[in-house]
């Protein structure tokens, strides 16, 4: 059986977790606490950059969430999460990349400032402005559709949809983006989002690790 090394509070892991659930692929969960257990020689053996998620399929070990999603899509044909038509496929990939490259660092900055790990008002303001640029762009892609790729859930919704719903609690409301706002509410009601939503207690318990991890990410 597939093994997923993850932590419920990691957005990078959650996108893989949701894809596994949406595709109804059986897997074994192994929680990595990220309290230093990611730095043990045993874990570094499978994840040299001490990151989760890691997917292990017998003797095949895979890191990088988007590569893991590619593997799942190629190996398991049920409930496709990628369209095949050229423009639709490129749009899904674009939303994924914009989320990972533009939005993810913004979330780290917003969270770090909100939790008081850093105090850099200029960088906070820049992050908020950039968040609005991403949201405006995504609002236009969504158009009149229920999901990014017409009316079917794809990886674009999974990758963006595990980050955008956090924005209002981090000081970036979605009010100016009515389509994204409805999309976000629709996603968080899905069974797979509900099942993978970290509890307030899990978030609270993770705060000590969060400071170290976020500061490391912001320093990169
Ligand atoms: N690009 C990687 C990023 C993975 C990543 O940054 N994971 C974080 C958790 S969200 C992690 O494992 N941090 C632990 C560490 O850096 O020691 C992916 O998409 O899988």
Instruction: Establish if 15 belongs to a structural domain.
Output: yes
Q: What is the pLDDT of residue 107?
A: 96
58 and 142: one domain? no
Helix 104-114 crosses helix 121-142 at what angle (to 10 degrees)? 140
d(CA 154, CA 98): 15
Residues with CB under 6 A from ligand 1: 10, 12, 34, 38, 50-53, 64-65, 213
| pTM, full prediction | 0.96
The DSSP symbol for 100 reads I
The boundaries of the domain holding residue 52 are: 2-80
Nearest CA to ligand 1 atom 11: 51
Residue owning the nearest CA to atom 10 of ligand 1: 10
User: What residues have CB less than 8 Å from 98, skipping those under 6 apart?
Assistant: 134, 137, 138, 160
CATH code: domain of residue 51 = 3.40.30.10
Determine if the peptide bond prior to 41 is cis (ω within 30°).
no
Q: Which runs of E-coded beta strand occur in 41-180?
A: 54-57, 60-63
Low-confidence ranges of the chain (pLDDT < 70): none
- Render pLDDT for 5-33 as a digit per residue (tens, 0 to 9): 999 999 999 999 999 999 999 999 999 99
- Looking at residue 96, what is its pLDDT? 98
CA-based R_g, the chain, Å: 17
């Amino acid at each position: 059986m597939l093994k997923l090394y993850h932590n419920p509070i990691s957005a990078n892991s959650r996108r893989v977790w949701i894809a596994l659930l949406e595709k109804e692929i059986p897997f074994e969960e192994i929680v990595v606490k990220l309290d230093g257990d990611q730095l043990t020689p045993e874990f570094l053996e499978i994840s040299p950059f001490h990151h989760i998620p890691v997917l292990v399929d017998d003797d095949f070990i895979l890191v990088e969430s988007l590569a893991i999603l590619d593997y799942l899509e190629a190996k398991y044909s049920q409930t496709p999460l990628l369209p095949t038509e050229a423009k639709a496929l490129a749009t899904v990939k674009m939303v994924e990349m914009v989320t990972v490259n533009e939005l993810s660092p913004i979330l780290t900055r917003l969270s770090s400032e909100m939790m008081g790990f850093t105090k850099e008002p200029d960088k906070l303001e820049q992050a908020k402005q950039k968040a609005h640029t991403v949201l405006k762009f995504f609002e236009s892609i969504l158009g009149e559709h229920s999901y990014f790729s017409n009316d079917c859930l794809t990886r674009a919704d999974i990758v963006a949809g595990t980050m955008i719903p956090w924005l209002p609690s981090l000081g970036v409301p979605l009010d100016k983006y009515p389509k994204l706002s409805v999309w976000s509410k629709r996603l968080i009601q899905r069974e797979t989002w509900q099942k993978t939503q970290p509890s307030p207690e899990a978030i609270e318990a993770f705060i000590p690790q969060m400071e170290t991890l976020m500061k490391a990410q912001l320093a990169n």
